[in-house]
Structure 1
C-alpha cells in the first residue's frame, strides 16, 4: 500500500534526501498525484523524470501506472472510512460495541484455536497486511514478542522472503480491495512460495483469493462500518493471543 511504503521511506531518510522530498510531496498531495502524469509529478516535486522512474522502482512498482493505481486504491480505502457519519453519543457507542460483539460471537472457537496452533507450530511466522492491516500485523508482532515467538512483519520495500516448508504466512485484510486479484506483485510472489498460508479477512473478500490459502478465518461484518471493523479485528487479535497464552 502506498502510504505504508511512503511512511517507511520518510521514517528512514534525511529531510534533504531526494527520496524524502518526493515522498513528502506525494503524501501531502495524494489526491492530485493519483491523476498526475509522471512529467507533472517530476515538475511538482522539483526532480527529473528519471528520478521519479527510479523512485517508482524502489517502491516495487512495475511502472508508473501501477503506482497510480495504488494511489487510487489508497484514496478509495480512505473514502470508506471518512464517509462514515459518526455521532459521538453513548447510544451510538453502545450500538457499535453491541454489533462488534455479535459478529465476534459468530466465529467458531475451533477456527481461532486452529490459527493459534499453526502459529505455535511454525518455525517462523511472517505477517502481511496493508494500510490499517499493516499496523495490526505490527501489533500482533509485539504481542508475539511477549511469548518469544519469532514473527516478522513483511514490508514491500524490502526483498521478498522465500518461505520454507515449516514457515507460516499470515495475511490480514480488513480492506478487501487491497487483497483482490489485482493485489501487489509482492503478495502474489509470497503466495506462490512454500509454507502454510492463512488468511484473516472479512466475508467480502474476493473469492478468487481464497484458493491461495490453506485456511481462512472470514469475519462477518453485519452493520459494521470500516472504523468498527478495525476495532473488531483488533479484538480478534487479542482473543487469539489470549488463547495462545492459555495453550502455552
Structure 2
C-alpha cells in the first residue's frame, strides 16, 4: 500500500500509473483473485503497461504483485480483533486489555536484553543511522527520526524500495524494521540491495527464522494479532534507553 500511495501522490491523475494505482487501492480485496486481463478491461490499460507498472513497483510479475496484495490482506486480518457481540463496550475493552497485559508480560520476560543493550550501544556510536521499513512499520521510521533529533542524532529514512544509492560507510548503522518479516518473504530484490549495503546492519522483527546478513533483535510475541502493538512498544523502549545515553 505504501508503494501505491507513493504513485498516487506523485503522478498526474491522467497518467497510466496513477489510474492503475487508484484502481488497485480501491479494489485491493479483489486483486489476489482477478487476472491481468480483467484489470486491463476494467482500467482500459494495456497488459504491457500493467506489466511495466508492477515492475516499477519492484515485482517481477503480476503474479508476484498479487501475492504481495494477498499477504497485505492477510496481515490486516491477523490484526483484526473480534469483540464479543454479546458483551458491552466496557467488557470488551477490559478483556482486550487483560489479554494485552498477559502477553506483554510474556514479551518482557522473553526479550533478549543483552541483544537490546548491544543494539543501543551500536546506535549510540554510529555516525548516521539509516532506517528502512515497509508496510506497517514504516511510520516507526519517522518516530525514530523525530525522537532522536532531540539528542542531535542524524537519522535518514530510506525510500520504501531502497532504490536510492545511500552513502553508508563502516561508521554508520542500517536499522531494518520488519514486523512480520514480509519484506524478506516477498521483496527479494530489496533484500539483495540491503545485503549489499555497507556499515553495521540490524534487523528487528517478530519473526525469528529470517536469513539476514547482520545482527537481529527478535521481538518474541506469542499472539500475532498483537505484533504491531508490541513491536512499537519495543521501539519505544529502544528510543527511551537510547536517549538515556546522552
TM-score by length of 2: 0.85
Listed as ranges, the gaps of 5+ residues in structure 1 are none
1:221 aligns with 2:221: yes
1:113 Cα deviation after fit:
2.1
Counterpart in the other structure of 2:208: 205
Counterpart in the other structure of 1:85: 82
Written as runs of structure 1 = structure 2, the 5 A alignment for 1:62-81 is: 62-81=60-79
Q: Distance in 2 between matches of 1:11 and 1:145?
A: 27
Partner of 1:31, secondary structure, is coil
Partner of 1:61, secondary structure, is coil
Listed as ranges, the gaps of 5+ residues in structure 2 are 85-91
For 1:6-34, what per-residue CA distance to the aligned partner results, in whole angstroms no more than 9, with x for missing partners?
Answer: 11222333434332221111011122222
1:4 Cα deviation after fit:
1.2
Counterpart in the other structure of 2:3: 5
Count of equivalent residues: 238
1:148 aligns with 2:148: no
Written as runs of structure 1 = structure 2, the 5 A alignment for 1:15-26 is: 15-26=13-24
Which deviates further from its counterpart, 73-82 or 23-32? 73-82
Q: CA RMSD in A?
A: 2.2
Written as runs of structure 1 = structure 2, the 5 A alignment for 1:105-116 is: 105-116=109-120
1:234 Cα deviation after fit:
1.3
Q: Distance in 1 between matches of 2:95 and 2:35?
A: 47
TM-score by length of 1: 0.84
1:136 Cα deviation after fit:
1.9
1:157 Cα deviation after fit:
4.5
